[in-house]
Amino acid sequence: MCYRLFYHVVATDEVSSKITKEFNASQMHGEINFFLLNRLSYKIHEYPVSNVSFNFIFKHYTKLCLLQLK
């Protein structure tokens, strides 16, 4: 199994094509991996609210945001 570590996030297929053409014109070796924003889909998840547990990601994300505001 091969895991790709780095992805280039681009808006459209046209942008990825331009980058690929420049990559090939420069005779660079390797591969390029793209996340195309116009092809990504997502779902909004509703998580249950509980007094016993907390949302780990939300808790740490808000701390990170507050630290960046200082």
pTM, two decimals, is 0.53
* pLDDT tens sequence across 9-61: 999 999 999 999 999 999 988 888 998 998 888 788 777 777 776 666 666 55
* Residue 67 DSSP SS3: helix
Residue 57, pLDDT score? 65
Instruction: State how far the alpha carbon of 34 is from the alpha carbons of 6, 14, 29, 30, 43, in Å.
Output: 9, 12, 16, 14, 20
Bridge partners of residue 9, in order along the sequence: 35
Report the range out of 4-8, 37-41, 56-60, 66-70 with the highest average pLDDT. Answer: 37-41
